[in-house]
Amino acid sequence: MKVVTVVVASVAALVLGAALGALLLGGDSEPGDQSAEAGFARDMSVHHAQAVEMAFMIRDNTDDPEIQVMAYDIINTQRAQMGMFSGWLQQWELPQTSVRPPMQWTDHGHGGDEMSSYDDMPGMASDDQLDQLSRAEGVEAEILFLELMIDHHQGGVEMAQAVLPLTERTEVTYLADTIVAGQQAEIATMETMLANRKALYDPA
């Protein structure tokens, strides 16, 4: 009898303790399905995937070692970060994708004009531009790649900056901070690479 009472009390205590704990953590502190964190993770994953796609294309279309190394770096880093986004969503027990339009999670995303396509996210290359990149060769391809990737990185910085004021999750702020700083540094490097190639290349 004593044992039963203790067991019942323990279970009750566990429930109470868990509830109190959840309350102290901010209640529903795990980001929800419509949260900025989940939206950022999903949209940034699509954004990163296109950077990886473009980096693979340029590795096929030029032998320039400087471009090859940069593309290799982008492929590995952004692919790994896609794994982090996916891991967050798993951890938060949320679906990996959503049927909501992209960028709805931002301050500007509520109401107003809705984006209908992922291609409308900041810095995304259009299907035509991707097609062009897949056909271009040599310096022409390098210039196109750098122009597209600089725009793409600027969009990535914009998206990472958009999530920062909307979250206190440290895993999100840490990665968003590194994306802002990292992609800005890569933009500066790519601007130099672009200027060098434009100086050499006369598309007469």
The residue assigned the tokens 């952004």 is 78
Q: What mask, x for binding other proteins by CB under 8 A, covers residues 64 to 83?
A: -xx-xxx-xx--xxxxxx-x
For the chain, what is the largest distance between any 2 Cα atoms, rounded to a whole number of angstroms?
94
Question: Is 195 an interacting residue with respect to other proteins (CB under 8 A)?
Answer: no
Rounded to 10 deg, the angle between the 127-135 and 138-163 helix axes is 150
- What are the backbone dihedrals phi and psi of residue 112, each rounded to the nearest 5 degrees, phi first? 70, -160
* Distance between CA atoms of residues 171 and 174, nearest Å: 5
Cα-Cα-Cα-Cα torsion 20, 22, 27, 30, nearest 10 degrees, comes to: 180
The residue assigned the tokens 């933009």 is 187
> Minimum distance between the CB of residue 83 and other proteins, rounded to whole angstroms?
7
> Minimum distance between the CB of residue 24 and other proteins, rounded to whole angstroms?
5
> Minimum distance between the CB of residue 84 and other proteins, rounded to whole angstroms?
7
Q: What mask, x for binding other proteins by CB under 8 A, covers residues 162 to 181?
A: -------xxx--xx--x--x
Residues that bind other proteins (CB under 8 A): 1-2, 5-6, 8-10, 12-14, 16-18, 20-22, 24-25, 65-66, 68-70, 72-73, 76-81, 83-84, 169-171, 174-175, 178, 181-182, 185, 188-189, 192
